[in-house]
Amino acid sequence: MMQRHSRIYIAGHRGLVGAALYRYLSQQGYTCLLTTPRAELDLRWEPAVRDWFDQHQPEYVFLAAAKVGGILANATYPVDFLQDNLQIQTNIIYHSYRTGVKKLLFLGSSCIYPKFAPQPIKEEYLLTGALEPTNEWYAIAKISGIKLCQAYRQQYGWSAICAMPTNLYGIGDHFDLKTSHVLPALLRKFHEAKIRQEPSVTVWGTGTPRREFLYVDDLADACVFLMQHYDAAEIINVGTGTDLSIGELAHLIQKITEYAGEIIYDSSKPDGTPRKLLDVSRLHGLGWQARTPLALGIQKTYEWYVTYAQGNP
């Protein structure tokens, strides 16, 4: 079991998930959290990762470092999403194993599942159908990460586990309108339209795709729960168990930001997967459930955006 004094490496501690993990573990009293800024350690560069592990010798690793982004970023930077992620995860998994890390948690994504997977999506649907083309580069990298963890467990009996979070949002998110995910993008669009008194906000696609959103602090809680209570080869979904349409999300954000204008849909932009709702019964069976209702999570994220993130996307 991970102890309060264990040496815990959070790879990607400046990202949405890594920062939430850092906050959560600190609050829980874990005192030896290892982090290194990107400027000092390029995780894509194998010799640097080798040296870092030799020097720091972590006991537990949360692998939250990844090149991530929304539907347009995925389509625009396929090399980054495939190659950077393959390099980062392979380097960290290999050197974790080589230096005797006791347990590693690899973070995947709900986009690993087939585009037309039956809903809600069970873990066993992995690799049963074609992927969604807008994010296949990222998905294939993440599937490779899962398989590498499973291979290490099978060949060497090493404790690597894989959590598959649904779409995430929360404090520390990125609000760049071209590269971000839908929830931060809409928060920013509605907020700016209110301030500038614009008559309408444009939402990409048709508004009909359905998505499930998990507050990132809940994910951090789930990751620590899994690190402590789960040790098996099978991947495990992390979500809320409920979804809504992008149109419904837009109306909710319109209400939270108190924007009075109109919503317009731009159907020249891609919709992506029609629906992505995870089956979370395996995680519920272990005794973990998400806590933060969507409206509350969005409200907290909005307050953080207005206070800290504007002008610094």
Q: Which residue number has the CB closest to ligand GFB?
A: 70
Distance CA 153, CA 95 (A): 15
Distance CA 251, CA 262 (A): 10
Window 57-76: residues binding ligand GFB (CB under 6 A): 70-71, 74
Is position 138 annotated as part of the catalytic site? Answer: yes
Q: With binding defined as CB under 6 A, does residue 104 bind ligand GFB?
A: no
Size of the site for ligand GFB (CB under 6 A): 26
Report which of 9, 10, 20 is spatially closest to residue 172, judged by C-alpha positions.
20
CB of 33 to ligand GFB, least distance (A): 25
DSSP state of 43: T
Report which of 273, 287, 200, 294 is spatially closest to residue 236, judged by C-alpha positions.
287
Is the Cβ–Cβ distance between 110 and 278 less than 8 Å? yes
Q: How many CA atoms lie within 13 A of 144 on its CB side?
A: 18
Nearer to ligand GFB, 91 or 110 (CB): 110
From the list 22, 60, 113, 138, the catalytic residue is 138
Nearer to ligand GFB, 10 or 183 (CB): 183
Q: Residues 269-288 vs ligand GFB: string with x where CB under 6 A?
A: xxxxx---------------
Q: With binding defined as CB under 6 A, does residue 297 bind ligand GFB?
A: no
Report which of 111, 142, 107 is spatially closest to residue 125, judged by C-alpha positions.
111
Q: Residues 171-200 vs ligand GFB: string with x where CB under 6 A?
A: ---------xxx--xx--------------
Nearer to ligand GFB, 101 or 309 (CB): 309
110, 159, 240, 292: residue in contact with ligand GFB (rule CB under 6 A) = 110
Window 73-92: residues binding ligand GFB (CB under 6 A): 74
Is the Cβ–Cβ distance between 202 and 189 less than 8 Å? yes
Amino acid at 186: L
Distance CA 244, CA 295 (A): 12
Distance CA 169, CA 150 (A): 28
Chain residues in the site for ligand GFB (CB under 6 A): 70-71, 74, 109-111, 134-135, 138, 167, 180-182, 185-186, 203-205, 209, 211, 246, 269-273
**Residues labelled as active-site residues:** 138
